[in-house]
Structure 1
Amino acid sequence: MIISKLITTLILLVFFSSQMSAQALEKSVEKKIDSLIQTEFGNKNEPGGVFMMSQHGKNLYRKAFGKANLELDVNMTPDQVFQIGSMTKQFTAVAILMLEQQGKLSVNDPVSKYIKDYPSGDKISIHHLLTRTSGIKDFTKMKSLSGIAQKEMKPIEMVDFFKNEPADFAPGEKFEYNNSGYVVLGYIIELISGDTYENFIKKNIFDKTGMSNSYYASDRKLIPKRAYGYHKKESGFVNKTMINFSIPFSSGSLMSTVDDMLKWQQALNQNILLNAKETQKAFQKYKLNSGEEFTYGYGWHLKDTNGIPDREHGGSIFGFKSMEVYIPGKDIYVIGLSNCDCHSPTEITRNIAKIVLNHSK
């Protein structure tokens, strides 16, 4: 009886000791992350951001910093809605793969199959658009962009805006970051689905994954918990430059929260939207015509954190910056969203991932 009690006591001591150790470890990690973020987002009276870190789908860190609205003196909260910029491209890529899964297209199809008059469209494939190897001129680098920035543009008008520009290189010759290719993809989604890009993403992705606080961006709609975007000038902070969201379109016009982005990550992991075969296409490295491998899949950069493979992407649009890192081998997801393009979450998000990775060994 005494031996039995002693064993029970020892088991309880070991259990509580491990619990206390885990809590101490989490507290230690939290302090390190707090300190890291404070270096860039420490001023409570400036625009700020929201950072979240999760492992195995469980939130281990979720905090807001600074102001969501300077004029109204509104503090940032973790459920704030941000423009996510180029993170939009992952949704566009998955939408294309969903259409492929339904048998409505192939990533090997030439662009000319859907846009008959596209220059060299028989040589540029959907795969080239997805991997940024098409050579199409990036419209964000065109001087004439300022002339249409405030205009409501139909997708075909956006495609016509850049399609006759000289190509930067032959399809598949090199990898170069490009927004135009993802605008073409958005237009193809509309042509094949018979629906607008906005509706397609909402019905087929946001609604299916429970992303109830994610939207196609608008400066006119009332969006609950919207974080307002800012620039920093010598004279102080100013409201973000206005742009018509039909311009970035399917390359950068979505809004979301850190919680919804975690739902998105989990939906991809659980094959809720795509089967395993289609999902793998988004997360594998491809080769150029020369046989050289490059580190971009379909909508994600494929890099590494402390030598462990990751998937990551950032975003930048007037008044906002965003960054996410996902480490599949450890199921660690880190995301940072900022409402001033003067505060970048990129390196902070990467460093948070490194801290968590070191503590999860």
Structure 2
Amino acid sequence: MKNILLAFLLSLTVFDLSFAQNNTKIDSIIQTEFKDQNAPGGVFLVSRKGKIIYEKAFGKANLELNVDMRPNNVFQIGSMTKQFTAVSILILESQGKLSVNDPVAKYIPDYPSGNSITIHHLLTHTSGIKDFTKMKSISDIAQKEMSPKMMVDFFKNEPVDFKPGEKFDYNNSGYVLLGYLIELISGEKYEDFIKKNIFDKAGMNNSFYASDRKIIKNRAFGYHQKSDGYVNKTIINFSVPFASGSLMSTVQDMLKWQDAINRNLILDAEYTKKAFTKYKLNNGDEFNYGYGWHLKDIDGIATREHGGSIFGFKSMGVYIPSEDIYVIGFSNCDCHSPTQITRDIARFVLNSSKVNRDILKTSLKLK
């Protein structure tokens, strides 16, 4: 009995020390990029088994007012929006309102090559349609209020880059088109659909369709870095990135999102699985993207990842399913990317979890 108690106390001591050491190490990883506390900064969160094991803010949320960043600040998340768009499509499929194998022409009869481009192609970035962010004329509309139809009309007549299914090529136009389909098929505005079917169900009370006009509590302001210092971010009308990049959130809300996915609160497992399946091109080659997530690995351990970049902000999230480890990082200056930092933290926590398990096994042998 004494040996069992000793093993238990030893394991607690080891984990207490490990926890403190882990926090110090994570701090050091983040501070390679986010070291100036008087500059725009960021927020990072790490969870394991759904529990937060690290959460910290760095730098300033607002330079003009000298406001420190806090963990509950709201950021624009850019292309991490695509996760929500993809899941919204799967929600509609689960309701019997569409199939991912449907051609675009079923819903937009006049869409060029719409009979050969499917919803699946849009979700997986294999449609070949022109990415509107690469069009020179994008500057003409960047600050205009655009309806979803106007956005689709903006790029739909551009020559395709390749035939559907021939290659993977990351594409924002496909997700704008998906947002338009969500509105056509559901009869609701995209932002209303997301709020009702995802934000509300997951308890994401601090997540929004982006706006520069609405009063959003705890908003982090976005910045660019120029040769002579920082400047406020370039204004963009959020109707332009639309369903490809116009959502806002906090790191804690993004953890709620991850938890809702894991617990099938938003979708049944049958449909959730579709988002995390690696698909194949026409020639049979597999590529590392599902529906709204990159499907990669860290040291051979499978991950689900996605980042985002929009004027003044960058974001990155990494989830390791086998260990239930989630790492999310936001930055309010597009001069500081959390992408590699987030992956480095995920790798460190993954390796620490393995070491801690070995230590616990060893301590229990004292019985």
Tell me by how many angstroms 1:27 deviates.
1.2
**Which structure 1 segments of 5+ residues have no match?**
1-6
Superposed CA deviations along residues 305-353 of structure 1, whole A, max 9, x for unmatched, are 1110000000000000000000000000000000000000000000000
2:65 to 62, 69, 72: 72
How many positions carry a matched residue from both structures?
Answer: 354
The CA deviation at 1:11 is 3.4
1:210 is aligned to 203
**Are residues 1:321 and 2:314 paired?**
yes
1:136 equivalent in structure 2 = 129
The alpha-carbon deviation at position 16 of structure 1 amounts to 1.8
Matched, 1:162 2:147: no
Q: How does 1:13-92 map to 2 (within 5 A)?
A: 13-92=6-85
CA deviation map 1:142-162 (0-9, x unaligned): 000000111000000000000
1:163 and 1:331 map into 2 onto residues whose CA distance is 40
- Match of residue 239 from structure 1: 232
Q: Which residue of 1 aligns with 2:146?
A: 153
- Percent identity between the aligned chains? 72
Classify the secondary structure of the residue corresponding to 1:140: helix
Q: Secondary structure at the match of 2:302?
A: strand
Q: For the residues of structure 1 that align with 2:105 and 2:206, how far apart are their CA atoms?
A: 36
2:218: which partner in 1? 225
Q: Who is 1:307 aligned against?
A: 300
Q: Given the alignment of the two structures, is residue 180 of structure 1 paired with residue 148 of structure 2, yes or no?
A: no
Q: Which amino acid aligns with 1:208?
A: K
Question: Could you tell me which residue of structure 2 aligns to residue 4 of structure 1?
Answer: none
2:110 to 107, 112, 117: 117
Give the letter for the 1:125 counterpart.
Answer: T
Q: Deviations over 1:238-265 (max 9, x none)?
A: 0000000000000000000000000000
Q: What's the CA shift string for 1:58-101, capped at 9, x where partnerless?
A: 00000000000000000000010000000000000000000000
- Partners of 1:147 and 1:183 lie apart in 2 by 18
Structure 2 residue 287 is the aligned partner of structure 1 residue 291 = no
Q: Which moved more, 1:9-18 or 1:75-84?
A: 9-18
**In structure 2, what is the Cα distance between the partners aligned to 1:246 and 1:129?**
19
Once superposed, what is the RMSD of the aligned Cα atoms?
A: 0.6
What's the CA shift string for 1:102-133, capped at 9, x where partnerless?
A: 00000000000001100000000000000000
Cα deviations across residues 148-207 of structure 1 (Å, max 9, x unaligned)?
111000000000000000000000000001000000000000001101001000111000
Matched, 1:199 2:192: yes
The one of 331, 336, 360 aligned to 2:324 = 331
Q: Quick one: distance in 1 between partners of 2:242 and 2:227?
A: 31
1:294 Cα deviation after fit: 0.3
Paired residues for 1:90-109 under 5 Å = 90-109=83-102
Aligned to 2:272: 279
CA distance in 1, matches of 2:220, 2:6: 47
Runs of 5+ unmatched residues, structure 2: 355-367
Give me the TM-score of the superposition, normalised by structure 1. Answer: 0.97
Instruction: Kindly provide the amino acid, as one letter, of the partner of residue 78 in structure 1.
Output: P
* Cα distance in 2 between the residues matched to 1:11 and 1:278: 45
CA deviations over 1:270-326 (Å, ceiling 9, x no partner): 111111110000000000000000000000000001110000000000000000000
Deviation at 1:140, TM superposition (A): 0.1
Query: What SS is found at the alignment partner of 1:40?
Result: coil
